[in-house]
């Protein structure tokens, strides 16, 4: 993971060097603030790795990488408004620290900035970069809308749920990698394979996130255990439980939705999920996507040793014991 740590330092310095104007301060201060809140910078890292995989310097894809990170931050600023989230990375969200109007508008300008970064790449690859980026940006919006719609629906299928997380979070990982591959002038077949790798790693990661909410070691997890349960979120575990439950268990699950005591609620739901072996079922789906991802990576027509970093990253993202 030496390569990854070096690239993270490189990316952080380039993100810190992003040049936002001083005025209007209410438009650009929120962006300076938000872009520096940190995070794993996983998406731009994937773009750099996508270029390196095909034998070009990672730095060649820098502006595409920054575009992906900027886009991700745009979507977080707007999602935080929609989700009424007070905190992001333990700091106040933009609409909380400033206000909703400022969060809308600074998000908008950030999306345009993403396009400005893409346009710094070679003109020869611009149409292809924009094609995958535009398509992905549309899908991320569609995923966010489906996520909001699902909160109002009682009958969400598991297939629809997986499709929602694919759009909302996973396509951007595929896009990040493919943009690196485009810069490196990879073949269309290899581009599609690396996109598939990213997309399915993303789906697996998202399912893992659902599992960890309830089954993580609280000391390692760094988040409140059972947060999704307390918020009555329709996670994969919940949907799977609804699918497998008998009428009595279904009734219990519904009753637990309105349980008052937090510890009692989380324990009750966990006991029910355990009885239904919901974790194991979710784990199966997660493993399936992990395997599809690895198969796509294996099929890419480059020397095996070039794939080492991506394999390590996948293991790093998905190793947590659950």
| Residue of 307, 274, 273 lying closest to 293 (CA atoms) | 307
Least separation in angstroms between CB 153 and a copy of itself: 11
Regarding 4 and contact with a copy of itself (CB under 8 A), the answer is: no
CB 28 within 8 A of CB 98: no
Is residue 126 a contact point for a copy of itself (CB under 8 A)? Answer: yes
Counting residues that bind a copy of itself (by CB under 8 A) gives 37
Among the residue ranges 126-134, 174-182, 197-205, 289-297, the one whose residues contact a copy of itself (CB under 8 A): 126-134
Under rule CB under 8 A, residue 86 binds a copy of itself: no
Helices (H), 152-261: 158-165, 171-183, 188-215, 218-221, 227-230, 236-244, 247-257
CA distances for 316 relative to 12, 14, 83, 201, 311, angstroms = 20, 24, 29, 11, 9
Does the protein bind a copy of itself through residue 81 (CB under 8 A)? yes
Note the helical H segments in 83-170. 94-97, 100-118, 126-151, 158-165
CA dihedral defined by 125, 303, 169, 135, rounded to 10 degrees?
A: 30
Contact pick of 55, 149, 223, 315 for a copy of itself (by CB under 8 A): 149
Residue 32 or 320: which CB sits closer to a copy of itself? 32
CB of 293 to a copy of itself, least distance (A): 26
Q: How far is the CB of 107 from a copy of itself (least distance, A)?
A: 8
Report the C-alpha gap between 283 and 216 in whole angstroms.
13
Q: How far is the CB of 144 from a copy of itself (least distance, A)?
A: 6
| 153 is a site residue for a copy of itself (CB under 8 A) | no
Q: Give the three-class secondary structure for 91.
A: strand
Strands 87-88 and 91-92: antiparallel
Smallest separation (angstroms) from a copy of itself to the CB of 175: 13
Q: Where does this chain touch a copy of itself (CB under 8 A) — which range of 35-43, 138-146, 177-185, 267-275? A: 138-146
Question: Which residues contact a copy of itself by CB under 8 A?
Answer: 21, 23-24, 26-27, 78, 81-82, 100-102, 104-105, 107-109, 111-113, 115-116, 119, 123, 126-127, 130-131, 134, 137-138, 141-142, 144-146, 148-149
């Amino acid at each position: 993971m030496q390569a990854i740590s070096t690239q993270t330092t490189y990316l952080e310095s380039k993100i810190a060097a992003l040049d936002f104007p001083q005025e209007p301060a209410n438009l650009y201060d929120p962006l300076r603030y938000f872009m520096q809140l940190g995070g794993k910078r996983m998406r731009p890292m994937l773009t750099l790795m996508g270029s390196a995989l095909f034998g070009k310097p990672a730095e060649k894809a820098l502006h595409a990488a920054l575009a992906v990170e900027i886009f991700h931050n745009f979507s977080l600023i707007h999602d935080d408004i929609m989700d009424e989230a007070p905190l992001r990375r333990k700091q106040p969200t933009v609409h909380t620290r400033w206000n909703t109007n400022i969060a809308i508008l600074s998000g908008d300008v950030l999306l345009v900035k993403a396009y400005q970064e893409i346009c710094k790449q070679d003109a020869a690859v611009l149409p292809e970069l924009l094609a995958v980026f535009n398509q992905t940006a549309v899908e991320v919006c569609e995923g966010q809308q489906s996520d909001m719609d699902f909160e109002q629906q009682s009958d969400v299928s598991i297939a629809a749920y997986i499709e929602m997380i694919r759009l909302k979070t996973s396509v951007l990982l595929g896009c990040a990698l493919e943009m690196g591959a485009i810069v490196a002038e990879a073949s269309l077949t290899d581009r599609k394979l690396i996109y598939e790798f990213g997309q399915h790693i993303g789906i697996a990661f998202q399912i893992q996130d659902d599992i960890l909410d309830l089954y993580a070691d609280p000391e390692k997890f760094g988040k409140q255990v059972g947060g999704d349960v307390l918020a009555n979120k329709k996670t994969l575990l919940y949907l799977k439980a609804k699918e497998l439950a008998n009428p009595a268990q279904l009734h219990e699950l519904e009753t637990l939705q309105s349980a008052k005591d937090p510890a009692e609620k989380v324990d009750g739901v966990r006991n029910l999920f355990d009885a239904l072996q919901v974790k194991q079922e979710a784990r199966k789906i997660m493993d399936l996507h992990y395997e599809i991802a690895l198969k796509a990576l294996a099929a890419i027509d480059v020397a095996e040793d070039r794939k080492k970093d991506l394999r390590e990253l996948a293991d790093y993202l998905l190793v947590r014991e659950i």
